[in-house]
Amino acid sequence: MGRPQSVDRWVGHAIRARVEAVPGGTRVGRLAGDALAPAFQGLVAAMLVRPALRRSGTEALAAGALAASAARVARDRIARPRPGTRPDGALPSRHAAAAVAIAQVVSRRHPRLRPWLVLAAAAGLTGRVVAGDHDPADIAAGAALGWASDWVIGLATGGDR
Protein backbone atom coordinates (compact mmCIF):
# COMPACT_ATOMS: atom_id res chain seq x y z
CA MET A 1 0.00 0.00 0.00
CA GLY A 2 1.48 3.35 -1.08
CA ARG A 3 1.71 6.37 1.20
CA PRO A 4 -1.29 8.28 -0.27
CA GLN A 5 -3.46 5.19 0.04
CA SER A 6 -2.23 4.64 3.61
CA VAL A 7 -3.10 8.22 4.53
CA ASP A 8 -6.53 7.87 2.95
CA ARG A 9 -7.22 4.65 4.86
CA TRP A 10 -6.05 6.34 8.06
CA VAL A 11 -8.39 9.31 7.46
CA GLY A 12 -11.31 7.00 6.76
CA HIS A 13 -10.56 5.01 9.90
CA ALA A 14 -10.28 8.23 11.94
CA ILE A 15 -13.67 9.43 10.67
CA ARG A 16 -15.29 6.10 11.56
CA ALA A 17 -13.68 6.12 15.02
CA ARG A 18 -14.92 9.66 15.76
CA VAL A 19 -18.45 8.83 14.67
CA GLU A 20 -18.46 5.59 16.68
CA ALA A 21 -17.67 7.65 19.78
CA VAL A 22 -21.00 9.48 19.39
CA PRO A 23 -23.96 7.45 20.65
CA GLY A 24 -25.97 6.38 17.61
CA GLY A 25 -23.51 8.07 15.26
CA THR A 26 -22.68 4.99 13.21
CA ARG A 27 -26.34 4.11 12.82
CA VAL A 28 -27.23 7.63 11.65
CA GLY A 29 -24.29 7.60 9.26
CA ARG A 30 -25.30 4.23 7.83
CA LEU A 31 -28.91 5.42 7.42
CA ALA A 32 -27.72 8.54 5.58
CA GLY A 33 -25.50 6.44 3.32
CA ASP A 34 -28.29 3.95 2.63
CA ALA A 35 -30.78 6.73 1.84
CA LEU A 36 -28.52 8.47 -0.68
CA ALA A 37 -29.31 6.45 -3.81
CA PRO A 38 -33.09 6.15 -3.25
CA ALA A 39 -33.35 9.87 -2.48
CA PHE A 40 -31.59 10.94 -5.66
CA GLN A 41 -33.38 8.31 -7.75
CA GLY A 42 -36.68 9.58 -6.35
CA LEU A 43 -35.77 13.15 -7.23
CA VAL A 44 -35.01 12.17 -10.82
CA ALA A 45 -38.22 10.10 -11.07
CA ALA A 46 -40.30 13.00 -9.72
CA MET A 47 -38.76 15.33 -12.26
CA LEU A 48 -39.39 12.90 -15.12
CA VAL A 49 -43.13 12.67 -14.42
CA ARG A 50 -43.67 16.44 -14.23
CA PRO A 51 -43.79 17.92 -17.73
CA ALA A 52 -42.27 21.24 -16.61
CA LEU A 53 -39.27 19.42 -15.10
CA ARG A 54 -38.90 16.59 -17.60
CA ARG A 55 -35.91 18.07 -19.43
CA SER A 56 -34.06 18.56 -16.14
CA GLY A 57 -34.97 15.03 -15.10
CA THR A 58 -33.79 13.58 -18.40
CA GLU A 59 -30.46 15.41 -18.17
CA ALA A 60 -30.04 14.34 -14.53
CA LEU A 61 -30.81 10.73 -15.44
CA ALA A 62 -28.32 10.82 -18.31
CA ALA A 63 -25.58 12.41 -16.19
CA GLY A 64 -26.17 10.01 -13.30
CA ALA A 65 -26.11 6.98 -15.58
CA LEU A 66 -22.97 8.19 -17.36
CA ALA A 67 -21.20 8.87 -14.07
CA ALA A 68 -22.18 5.55 -12.48
CA SER A 69 -21.16 3.62 -15.61
CA ALA A 70 -17.80 5.37 -15.83
CA ALA A 71 -17.22 4.73 -12.12
CA ARG A 72 -18.07 1.03 -12.54
CA VAL A 73 -15.60 0.62 -15.41
CA ALA A 74 -12.85 2.49 -13.53
CA ARG A 75 -13.57 0.66 -10.27
CA ASP A 76 -13.35 -2.75 -11.93
CA ARG A 77 -10.04 -1.84 -13.58
CA ILE A 78 -8.49 -0.24 -10.48
CA ALA A 79 -9.72 -3.00 -8.13
CA ARG A 80 -8.93 -1.10 -4.94
CA PRO A 81 -10.44 -3.04 -2.01
CA ARG A 82 -13.04 -1.45 0.22
CA PRO A 83 -12.29 -0.69 3.86
CA GLY A 84 -15.07 -3.09 4.90
CA THR A 85 -15.73 -6.67 3.90
CA ARG A 86 -17.54 -6.16 0.59
CA PRO A 87 -15.63 -7.89 -2.20
CA ASP A 88 -16.23 -5.36 -5.00
CA GLY A 89 -13.89 -2.45 -5.62
CA ALA A 90 -14.09 0.92 -3.94
CA LEU A 91 -12.39 3.53 -6.11
CA PRO A 92 -14.20 5.49 -7.46
CA SER A 93 -17.51 5.46 -5.62
CA ARG A 94 -20.47 4.92 -7.95
CA HIS A 95 -22.79 6.48 -5.37
CA ALA A 96 -20.66 9.62 -5.28
CA ALA A 97 -20.41 9.78 -9.05
CA ALA A 98 -24.16 9.49 -9.62
CA ALA A 99 -25.19 11.74 -6.72
CA VAL A 100 -22.82 14.54 -7.70
CA ALA A 101 -23.79 14.30 -11.38
CA ILE A 102 -27.48 14.53 -10.52
CA ALA A 103 -26.93 17.32 -8.01
CA GLN A 104 -24.87 19.30 -10.54
CA VAL A 105 -27.45 19.01 -13.32
CA VAL A 106 -30.37 19.92 -11.08
CA SER A 107 -28.41 22.77 -9.46
CA ARG A 108 -27.44 24.15 -12.87
CA ARG A 109 -31.05 24.15 -14.02
CA HIS A 110 -32.65 25.03 -10.65
CA PRO A 111 -30.08 27.02 -8.61
CA ARG A 112 -32.37 27.51 -5.61
CA LEU A 113 -32.14 23.75 -4.94
CA ARG A 114 -28.33 23.74 -4.77
CA PRO A 115 -27.99 24.11 -0.96
CA TRP A 116 -30.39 21.23 -0.35
CA LEU A 117 -28.74 19.00 -2.90
CA VAL A 118 -25.27 19.74 -1.54
CA LEU A 119 -26.46 18.99 1.99
CA ALA A 120 -28.15 15.74 0.97
CA ALA A 121 -25.17 14.55 -1.07
CA ALA A 122 -22.68 15.47 1.66
CA ALA A 123 -24.70 13.66 4.34
CA GLY A 124 -25.14 10.56 2.20
CA LEU A 125 -21.54 10.41 1.02
CA THR A 126 -20.22 10.95 4.54
CA GLY A 127 -22.50 8.11 5.57
CA ARG A 128 -20.83 5.87 2.99
CA VAL A 129 -17.49 6.54 4.69
CA VAL A 130 -18.98 6.06 8.17
CA ALA A 131 -20.48 2.72 7.13
CA GLY A 132 -17.09 1.49 5.92
CA ASP A 133 -18.20 1.26 2.31
CA HIS A 134 -15.61 3.82 1.17
CA ASP A 135 -12.68 5.93 2.23
CA PRO A 136 -12.51 9.66 1.41
CA ALA A 137 -10.49 9.25 -1.81
CA ASP A 138 -13.13 6.87 -3.18
CA ILE A 139 -15.76 9.58 -2.63
CA ALA A 140 -13.55 12.33 -4.09
CA ALA A 141 -12.81 10.30 -7.23
CA GLY A 142 -16.50 9.51 -7.68
CA ALA A 143 -17.40 13.18 -7.19
CA ALA A 144 -14.90 14.16 -9.88
CA LEU A 145 -16.57 11.73 -12.29
CA GLY A 146 -19.94 13.22 -11.36
CA TRP A 147 -18.76 16.75 -12.16
CA ALA A 148 -17.24 15.57 -15.44
CA SER A 149 -20.46 13.78 -16.38
CA ASP A 150 -22.51 16.92 -15.76
CA TRP A 151 -20.09 18.84 -17.97
CA VAL A 152 -20.41 16.27 -20.79
CA ILE A 153 -24.20 16.19 -20.58
CA GLY A 154 -24.29 20.00 -20.46
CA LEU A 155 -22.25 20.17 -23.65
CA ALA A 156 -24.36 17.50 -25.34
CA THR A 157 -27.66 19.17 -24.48
CA GLY A 158 -26.62 22.79 -24.88
CA GLY A 159 -26.99 23.35 -21.15
CA ASP A 160 -25.79 26.49 -19.41
CA ARG A 161 -22.01 26.39 -19.06
Q: Where are the domains of the chain?
A: 3-157
> At the topology level of CATH, where does 3-157 sit?
Vanadium-containing Chloroperoxidase; domain 1 (1.20.144)
Mean of the pLDDT values across residues 80-108? 88
Q: What's the pLDDT score for residue 141?
A: 94
CA proximity to 93, closest of 58, 68, 114 = 68
Q: What's the pLDDT score for residue 46?
A: 95
Residue 2 has pLDDT above 80, yes or no: no
Q: What's the pLDDT score for residue 74?
A: 92
- If you ran DSSP here, which 8-state letter would residue 31 be given? H
Residue 90 has pLDDT above 60, yes or no: yes
Q: What's the pLDDT score for residue 86?
A: 80
Is the backbone of residue 79 left (phi > 0), alpha (psi -120 to 50) or beta?
Answer: left
> What is d(CA 43, CA 158) in angstroms, rounded to the nearest whole number?
22
Residue 1 has pLDDT above 70, yes or no: no
Q: What's the pLDDT score for residue 9?
A: 84
Q: What's the pLDDT score for residue 5?
A: 65
Q: Within 13 Å, how many C-alpha atoms sit on residue 118's CB side? A: 8
Residue 20 has pLDDT above 60, yes or no: yes
